[in-house]
Amino acid sequence: MVSAASWLSSVWTPVAGGVTAPVGFQAAGIAAGLKDSGKPDLALVLAPEAAVCAGTFTTSVVRAACVDLCAQRLQASNGQCRGVLINSGQANACTGDSGLIDSQRATQALADHLGLTSDQMLICSTGVIGVPIPMKVLLAGLDPLVEALAEDGGAAAAAAILTTDLVPKQIAVESEIDGRTVRIGGMAKGSGMIHPDMATMLGFLTCDAGVPSEAWQVIVQRAVQRSFNAITVDGDTSTNDTFLAFAAGDPLLSDQYEQLEQGVTLVAQHLARSIARDGEGATCLIEVRVEGAASEADALRMARTVCGSSLVKTAVHGRDPNWGRIVAAAGRSGVEFDPEEVSLWIGDHHLMESGQPLDFDRPAASIYLQQRSEGRYLDNDTVLIRLRIGSGPEEGRAWGCDLSDQYVRINADYTT
What's the mean per-residue pLDDT of the chain? 90
For residue 198, pLDDT over 80 is answered with: no
Task: Quote the pLDDT of residue 315.
Answer: 94
Is the pLDDT at 78 greater than 70? The verdict is yes
Is 60 exceeded by the pLDDT of residue 6?
A: no
The CATH class, in words, for 285-412 is: alpha beta
Fold match between domain 13-277 and domain 285-412: no
State how far the Cα of 395 lies from the Cα of 398, in Å rounded to an integer.
11
Q: Would you state the pLDDT for residue 378? A: 47
Instruction: List, for residues 354-363, the tens digit of each pLDDT value.
Output: 999 999 999 9
The residue ranking higher by pLDDT, 107 or 2, is: 107
Tens of pLDDT, residue by residue over 383-405, are 999 999 999 999 999 998 888 88
Does residue 160 have a pLDDT over 90?
yes
What confidence tier does 379 reach under pLDDT thresholds 50, 70, 90? low
pLDDT at 280: 74
Position 92 pLDDT exceeds 70? yes
Q: Domain-by-domain residue ranges, the chain?
A: 13-277, 285-412
**Better pLDDT: 241 or 287:** 287
Per-residue model confidence (pLDDT) at position 201 = 77
Residue 2 has pLDDT above 70, yes or no: no
Q: Are the C-beta atoms of 279 and 243 separated by less than 8 Å?
A: no
Catalytic residue among 200, 237, 265, 305: 200
Q: Can you give the pLDDT at residue 195?
A: 55
In the prediction, which pLDDT does 153 show?
98
Q: How confident is the model at residue 416 (pLDDT cuts 50, 70, 90)?
A: low
At residue 1, the pLDDT reads: 40
Question: What CATH number does domain 13-277 carry, 3.60.70.12, 3.40.640.10, 3.40.50.2300, 3.40.50.2030?
Answer: 3.60.70.12
Q: How far apart (Å, rounded) are the C-alpha atoms in residues 327 and 390?
A: 14
Q: What percent of the chain has pLDDT over 90?
A: 73
pLDDT band at 9 (very low <50, low <70, confident <90, very high): low
Enter the pTM of the model: 0.87
CA distances from 278 to 118, 176, 340, 400 (A): 34, 32, 36, 10
Q: How confident is the model at residue 23 (pLDDT cuts 50, 70, 90)?
A: very high
Active site residue 305: no
Q: Is the pLDDT of residue 312 over 70?
A: yes
Rg of the chain taking only CA atoms, in angstroms: 21
User: What is the predicted pLDDT for the residue at 376?
Assistant: 45
